[in-house]
């Protein structure tokens, strides 16, 4: 078969490719190494591993209350992503489909939590909760996470709605559908990519969060990143590597399928 006939400038392409592949390797490198180290038989983190074993995977449960913490993280992430997405639906409908004064200002306000240092939000919230007496409860943790992730579904849903076609809704109305029917059968399906990608981002960012959680938890309430971090600072063995490998594997699978099915990536780029 004939080779590609598009014009390529040799020197330029070489440099671009060289740096790009370096970046890609740089991204992959720690992940790969973590996986390799997780199979290392020896106690210390060493590379290359002299012997292989899967013992460390069995040791995962030794991470203090990791099962309990992961469950809490998952539930909080699920709930905060769900609430944030619901809020996001309302916000995006308001911003894209209705009239509002000072839309740019409102949008900037709604998205602003991203730009405030997480430590500030965490500390402000714990003080506030202490003030009203609900500190260190699961619902105050949930509220903190909702504030944290709110901006993501709003952004993706606004993008999704902006790209969607309003004439479809108008056509449905002219065919006799009520507003509610139009919303359920036309608008919502068009928002699906934004919904899915917003939900997934919110979930992942909530699940992963440390700076806000650390201030809002105490005692029985704890999250996965906190327990993982504690273990890492107190122990030298590669158990966290095993846990990390599992975590990355699961996340990769989720993202892979989400992209295949819903093409979330294109909606996050807008």
List the interface residues with other proteins, window 180-209 (CB under 8 A). 182, 187, 200, 204, 207-208
Smallest separation (angstroms) from other proteins to the CB of 199: 13
* Token pair for 144: 């903190």
d(CA 141, CA 130): 12
* Token pair for 123: 């500390």
Closest by CA position to 169, among listed 196, 190, 195, 194: 190
Q: Which stretch binds other proteins (CB under 8 A): 61-69, 74-82, 188-196, 244-252?
A: 244-252
* Token pair for 77: 């992430």
| Sequential DSSP letters for 193-238 | HHHHHHHHHHHHHHHH--TTHHHH--TT---HHHHHHHHHHH--SS
Taking the least distance from each CB to other proteins, the nearer of 55 and 255 is 255
List the interface residues with other proteins, window 121-180 (CB under 8 A). 121, 123-125, 127-128, 131, 143-144, 146-147, 150, 166, 169-170, 173, 179
How many other CB atoms are found less than 10 A from the CB of residue 194?
30
Choosing from 105, 116, 171, 184, the residue that interacts with other proteins (CB under 8 A) is: 116
Choosing from 78, 162, 232, 262, the residue that interacts with other proteins (CB under 8 A) is: 232
* Token pair for 45: 């983190």
Task: Please give the DSSP secondary-structure letter assigned to residue 4.
Answer: P
Choosing from 51, 115, 133, 261, the residue that interacts with other proteins (CB under 8 A) is: 115
Residue 159 CA to its chain's centroid (Å): 17
Mark 50-79 with x for binding to other proteins (rule: CB under 8 A) and - for no binding.
Answer: ------------------------------
Q: Which stretch binds other proteins (CB under 8 A): 54-62, 74-82, 93-101, 188-196?
A: 93-101
Instruction: Check residue 97 for interaction with other proteins (CB under 8 A).
Output: yes
Taking the least distance from each CB to other proteins, the nearer of 178 and 192 is 178
Residue 205's φ and ψ, nearest 5 degrees, are -70, -35
* Token pair for 208: 């992963």
Taking the least distance from each CB to other proteins, the nearer of 99 and 175 is 99
How many other CB atoms are found less than 10 A from the CB of residue 76?
25
Residue 130 CA to its chain's centroid (Å): 28
- Spatial contact of 99 and 190, defined as CB atoms under 8 Å apart: no
Smallest separation (angstroms) from other proteins to the CB of 133: 14
Instruction: Check residue 9 for interaction with other proteins (CB under 8 A).
Output: yes
């Amino acid at each position: 078969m004939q080779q590609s006939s598009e014009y390529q400038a040799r020197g330029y392409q070489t440099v671009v490719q060289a740096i790009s592949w370096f970046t890609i390797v740089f991204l992959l490198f720690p992940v790969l190494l973590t996986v390799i180290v997780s199979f290392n038989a020896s106690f210390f983190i060493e590379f290359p591993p002299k012997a292989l074993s899967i013992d460390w995977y069995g040791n995962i449960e030794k991470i203090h209350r990791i099962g309990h913490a992961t469950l809490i993280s998952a539930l909080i992430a699920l709930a905060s992503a769900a609430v944030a997405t619901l809020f996001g639906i309302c916000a995006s409908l308001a911003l894209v489909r209705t009239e509002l004064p000072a839309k740019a200002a409102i949008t900037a306000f709604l998205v602003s939590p991203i730009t405030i240092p997480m430590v500030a939000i965490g500390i402000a919230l714990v003080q506030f909760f202490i003030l009203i007496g609900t500190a260190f409860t699961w619902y105050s943790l949930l509220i903190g996470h909702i504030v944290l992730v709110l901006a993501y579904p709003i952004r993706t849903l606004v993008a999704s709605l902006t790209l969607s076609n309003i004439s479809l809704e108008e056509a449905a109305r002219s065919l006799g559908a009520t507003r509610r029917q139009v919303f359920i059968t036309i608008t919502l399906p068009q928002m699906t990519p934004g919904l899915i990608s917003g939900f997934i981002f919110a979930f992942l960012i909530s699940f992963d969060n440390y700076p806000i959680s650390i201030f809002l938890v105490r005692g029985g309430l704890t999250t996965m990143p906190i327990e993982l971090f504690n273990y890492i600072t107190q122990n030298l063995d590669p158990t966290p590597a095993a846990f990390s490998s599992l975590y990355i594997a699961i996340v990769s699978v989720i993202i892979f399928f989400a992209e295949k099915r819903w093409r979330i990536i294109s909606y996050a780029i807008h």
